[in-house]
Structure 1
Amino acid sequence: MNFIFDLDGTICFKGQPISTRILDCLLELEQAGHTIGFASARPCRDMLPVLDERFRNHLLIGANGAMTYYQGSLQHHAPIPHRLANEIISILDDHRAQFLIDDKWDYAHNCDIAHPFMQNIDMQQSASRVDFDQLNHVLKILILSSERFDDLAARMKQLDVTMHYHSAEGILDLTSKGVNKMAALREFGLGDEPFICFGNDMNDLPLFEQAHYSVLIGGYEPLLPWAKERIFVDQMVEQSIIAKLRELGVAYKPAHT
């Protein structure tokens, strides 16, 4: 069975790396014949630090589906069209927004580096911060703050983009129209295969709608109708996730093992 995992708020919490116990459990699933992949709002560059070296070459769907890496190489990317990206940047400037833009690996931003979110950017120092006019592909625009945030969000909804609001952090992200985690999974070639997904937020909805089996971490209400199981985020969340992984690993054990 294919297992696809969101990261933040799903199998890692409060910006910390995924626990060694959960990562070891994922490898146990793989050794039993299952396939493991990850799909996150983070760009792939920033997914790696919360995993470990054992997962560097796994399927990484980043930026909510705008980029896909496998075996350490870029397989697919879906940029915002150049003219539209420039229009968005102009609107953000008008609203005095702080924002970060991800290219295929490098990034540009005008953010206060003291903002808590910035500590998660390029933690392994594998990329370069470039000027906005040096970006080759605008894959995701992350809006951290604005003087008129609600007005800005309403303006973004009028544009030909996919927009996600991350309620836990109070931030918006934008990708090209039609970009989502499920579309990226299809582009990679797994769209017609059954899969199990674990997720917690709005950007996981396209996966939940198509999954053979889905596990909601936490209580995001729009995912509840699609979730087969729910795990609460409490002091036992890690143990609960591991127990569910082992249960599903046995229930969907590949026939050839």
Structure 2
Amino acid sequence: MRFIFDLDGTICFKGQPISAHILDSLFWLEQEGHTVGFASARPCRDMLPVLDERFARHLLIGANGAMTYQHGRLQAYTPIPAPLATEIISILTDHRAQFLIDDKWDYAHNCTGDQQILRHIDSGRLASRIAFDQLDAVLKILIVSAEGMGELSARLRELDVTLHYHSAEGILDLTCKGVNKLAALQQAAPEEKFICFGNDMNDLPLFERAHHSVLLGEYAPLVPLATEQIPVDDQVEHAIVAKIQELGVAYRSVRTS
């Protein structure tokens, strides 16, 4: 069976790398014959530092599906068309927004030094910060703050983009219309059944199609779609490992297609 794991708020917490205990359980899944992949709002360069070398060549779906990385290289990406990206940046400027743009690997931003989000950007020193006019492909725009966020959100929803609100951090991000984790997974592994672990809005398309889904926490739109839930408390790591082992045994002989 193919297992797909979201990262932040699902198997890693408070910006820290995934624990060795959970990573070992993911490796155990593969030893049992399953396939493990990851799907995150993070761009792929920021997914790699929270994993370890055992998973560096695995399927990574980054930027909410705007990029796919596997076998140590970028496999596919879907940028926002350049004229639309220019329009979005103009709107953000109107609202005095602080935002970060992910290119295929590098990034550009106008965020001030006290923004917490900056602590987690390119922590592995795998990319470079570039100027906005050096961007080659705008894959994802992360909006950290803005004047009139409600009005800004309404303006952005009128455009051909996919907009996500991350409830835990209170931030917005957007990608090209039609981009999501499920679409990227179906491109990388067509027709395969999968099990997913997730916690927030950007996991919703996966939960709608998953053979089995595990919700971390209580994000309301995912509750009716989830096969089961795990509370996020001081026992969450133990509960995640136990659930991985339980599903690994239960689905050991299930065909993926």
TM-score (norm 1): 0.98
Residue 117 (structure 1) aligns with:
117
Secondary structure of the residue aligned to 2:76 is strand
**How far does residue 53 in structure 1 lie from its aligned partner after superposition?**
1.5
Secondary structure of the residue aligned to 1:226 is coil
Q: Provide Cα deviations, 1:8-47, integer angstroms capped at 9, x if missing partner.
A: 0000011111100000000000011100000000000000
Counterpart residue type for residue 171 of structure 2 = I
**How far does residue 142 in structure 1 lie from its aligned partner after superposition?**
0.2
Unaligned runs of 5+ residues in structure 1 are: none
Counterpart residue type for residue 129 of structure 1 = R
What CA distance in whole angstroms lies between the structure 1 residues aligned with 2:223 and 2:92? 34
Secondary structure of the residue aligned to 2:224 is helix
What CA distance in whole angstroms lies between the structure 1 residues aligned with 2:76 and 2:113? 30
Counterpart residue type for residue 193 of structure 2 = P
Secondary structure of the residue aligned to 2:197 is strand
Secondary structure of the residue aligned to 2:118 is helix
Residue 165 (structure 1) aligns with:
165
Q: Provide Cα deviations, 1:44-74, integer angstroms capped at 9, x if missing partner.
A: 0000111112111000000000000001111
What CA distance in whole angstroms lies between the structure 2 residues aligned with 1:227 and 1:22? 21
What CA distance in whole angstroms lies between the structure 1 residues aligned with 2:67 and 2:192? 20
What CA distance in whole angstroms lies between the structure 2 residues aligned with 1:69 and 1:90? 30
**RMSD of equivalent CA atoms:** 1.0
Q: Note if contact 1:5-1:38 (Cα within 8 Å) is conserved in structure 2.
A: yes
What CA distance in whole angstroms lies between the structure 1 residues aligned with 2:111 and 2:163? 20
Counterpart residue type for residue 226 of structure 2 = A
Q: Provide Cα deviations, 1:214-238, integer angstroms capped at 9, x if missing partner.
A: 0000000100111001000001100
Secondary structure of the residue aligned to 1:225 is coil
Residue 50 (structure 2) aligns with:
50
Residue 230 (structure 1) aligns with:
229
Alignment of 1:23-34 (within 5 A): 23-34=23-34
**How far does residue 255 in structure 1 lie from its aligned partner after superposition?**
6.5
What CA distance in whole angstroms lies between the structure 1 residues aligned with 2:211 and 2:147? 43
Q: Provide Cα deviations, 1:75-111, integer angstroms capped at 9, x if missing partner.
A: 1100000000000001111110000000010000000
Counterpart residue type for residue 41 of structure 2 = A
Unaligned runs of 5+ residues in structure 2 are: none
Alignment of 1:30-41 (within 5 A): 30-41=30-41
TM-score (norm 2): 0.98
Secondary structure of the residue aligned to 1:38 is strand
Identical pairs, percent: 69
**How far does residue 254 in structure 1 lie from its aligned partner after superposition?**
3.3
What CA distance in whole angstroms lies between the structure 1 residues aligned with 2:33 and 2:254? 9
Secondary structure of the residue aligned to 1:216 is strand
Counterpart residue type for residue 136 of structure 2 = N
1:195 aligns with 2:194: yes
What CA distance in whole angstroms lies between the structure 1 residues aligned with 2:201 and 2:54? 28
Counterpart residue type for residue 96 of structure 2 = R
Residue 177 (structure 1) aligns with:
177
Secondary structure of the residue aligned to 2:45 is helix
Alignment of 1:73-84 (within 5 A): 73-84=73-84
Counterpart residue type for residue 247 of structure 2 = L
4+ residue runs over 4 A deviation: none
Q: Provide Cα deviations, 1:180-225, integer angstroms capped at 9, x if missing partner.
A: 000000111x241110000000000000000000000000010011
Alignment of 1:1-257 (within 5 A): 1-188=1-188, 190-254=189-253
Q: Provide Cα deviations, 1:148-190, integer angstroms capped at 9, x if missing partner.
A: 11111111111110000011111000000000000000111x2
